[in-house]
């Protein structure tokens, strides 16, 4: 009998060799911070699921739960990504 239950936390993985060690949706190279930022920029769950059809509603719920519990980590990743796009003035 299989008693393995998928929990929200088991849907999120962090591996040093995947997406720079950022928290990602299990079996995907989609960082949680990307989904959080998409949501902040007016993307609702439906929009996100259309943009990332391999994700499920349960994946998003896990991402939101992880983000709520690790807000500082997620905010830092978003900030780092935004700063990475800036080109220093000469």
Give per-residue pLDDT as tens, 16-73: 999 999 999 999 999 999 999 999 998 799 999 999 999 999 999 999 999 999 999 9
Cβ atoms within 10 Å, residue 78: 16
Tokens linked to 51 = 């943009």
Dihedral sign for Cα atoms in the order 76, 73, 55, 38 = negative
Question: Is the residue at 13 inside a domain?
Answer: yes
Distances (CA, A) of 89 to 84, 86: 14, 9
DSSP structure string for 35-61: HHHHHHTT--HHHHHHHSTT--HHHHH
- Domain harbouring 72, CATH code: 1.10.10.10
Question: Contact, 74 vs 82, CB < 8 A?
Answer: no
pTM of structure: 0.81
Bridge partners (DSSP) listed for residue 12: 25
User: 82 or 32: which carries more pLDDT confidence?
Assistant: 32
Structural domain range at position 55: 9-84
Residue 61: closest CA among 15, 16, 9: 9
Question: Has residue 89 been placed in a domain?
Answer: no
77 within domain boundaries: yes
């Amino acid at each position: 009998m299989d008693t393995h239950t998928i929990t929200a936390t088991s849907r999120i993985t962090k591996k040093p060799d995947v997406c720079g060690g950022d928290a990602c949706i299990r079996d995907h190279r989609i960082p949680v911070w990307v989904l959080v930022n998409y949501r902040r920029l007016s993307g609702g769950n439906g929009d996100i699921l259309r943009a990332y059809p391999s994700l499920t509603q349960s994946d998003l719920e896990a991402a939101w739960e992880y983000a709520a519990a690790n807000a500082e980590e997620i905010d830092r990743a978003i900030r780092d990504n935004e700063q990475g796009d800036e080109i220093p003035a000469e």
